[in-house]
Amino acid sequence: MPTMTSTDSPRYDLPPDWPTDEAGATAVQERLRTSVVTAGEVAAPGAGPGTVAGVDVAYDDERGVVAAAAVALDPRTLEVVGETTAVGPVTFPYVPGLLAFREIPAVLDALGALDRAGFRPDLVVCDGYGLAHPRRFGLASHLGVLTGLPVIGVAKNPFTFRHADPGPRRGDWSSLLDGDEEVGRALRTRDGVKPVFVSVGHRIDLDGACAHTLHLARDYRQPETTRRADALCRRALADARAGRG
C-alpha cells in the first residue's frame, strides 16, 4: 500500500490493496504505523491565509450507506469557505479499532473534491483518534499517511486510555495515557465543560494539535471544523435517504 511524503501533492485515491477483512486491516495498520510523523511546520493557529478542513461521516446502517463531509474554514475567521460531500456503500464491518476502514473511502472522496474545488487544506481535523489508538494508527493517522496532509484527531471520548481530570478552565489539560506513554491529551475547551481528547494524526506535534483545537473551539466544546462537518454529513445522508443526492 503506497504512502505519500510531505513533499508530494496530496493523494486522495484509495490504495488498490484496500483490505476487506479484519486480519487484512490489522496488518495494514501494523505496517503503516511507522510512517506517522509526529512533528511538522503547520502555521500557528489563525495565522495567514489558507484553509483548515474538518471531516466527518454519518451512517445509515440499515441501508448500508455512509455519507462523508469535508468543510473548509478560513483559519482566521472560522467562516466556511468551501464544502463537499460524498455518499457511498459501507464496505467494511464494524470492528472497534478499525473504523478507519469504514470511513476513509468516503472521506477521501469528499476531501479530494474539496481540494479540486480550490480549497486544499493546510490542516485536517478528524472526529476521532490518531496516536490515541491501540496500534497508534487511528483514522487521523491513517488519513494523514495516505494523503500526506497534516491531520489531528479530536474525539469526544477517550477510547480505552486513562487520564486525570484536567483543571476546570479553558486550556487546562491532562495526559491521555497508555501505561506510561502519553498518546494524547484531555483538553478543556470550555470552562466547566467536559474535555475533548486530542491526539496527533500526522505531520504535527501534540502541542500544536492542542493549540489548533483550542483555536477552532472558540465558541463550543467541539472544534468548529467538526461541528460544521457533522451537520453537513447528516444533511447529505438525509438527502440520500430521500433520493435527493
pLDDT in tens, 168-207: 999 999 999 999 999 999 999 999 999 999 999 999 999 9
Q: What nine digits make up the cell of 40?
A: 511538522
C-alpha span between 24 and 188 (Å, rounded): 37
Confidence band (pLDDT; 50, 70, 90) for 22?
very high
Output the pLDDT for position 1: 39
pLDDT in tens, 34-62: 999 999 889 899 887 789 999 999 999 89
Output the pLDDT for position 245: 54
Q: What nine digits make up the cell of 240?
A: 440520500
pLDDT average, residue stretch 134-157:
97
Of 58, 145, 72, 60, give the one whose Cα is nearest residue 103. 58
Angle at CA 32, nearest 5°, toward 71 and 132? 60
DSSP secondary structure string for all residues of 122-174: SEEEESS-SSSSTTS--HHHHHHHHH---EEEEESS-TT-B-PPPPSSTT-EE
- CATH number for the domain formed by residue range(s) 39-241: 3.30.2170.10
C-alpha span between 105 and 102 (Å, rounded): 7
Q: What nine digits make up the cell of 244?
A: 435527493
Return the domain boundaries, the chain.
39-241
Per-residue pLDDT for 4 more than 70?
no
Q: Is the distance from CB of 20 to CB of 26 less than 8 angstroms?
A: no
pLDDT in tens, 81-132: 999 999 999 999 999 999 999 999 999 999 999 999 999 999 999 999 999 9
Per-residue pLDDT for 2 more than 60?
no
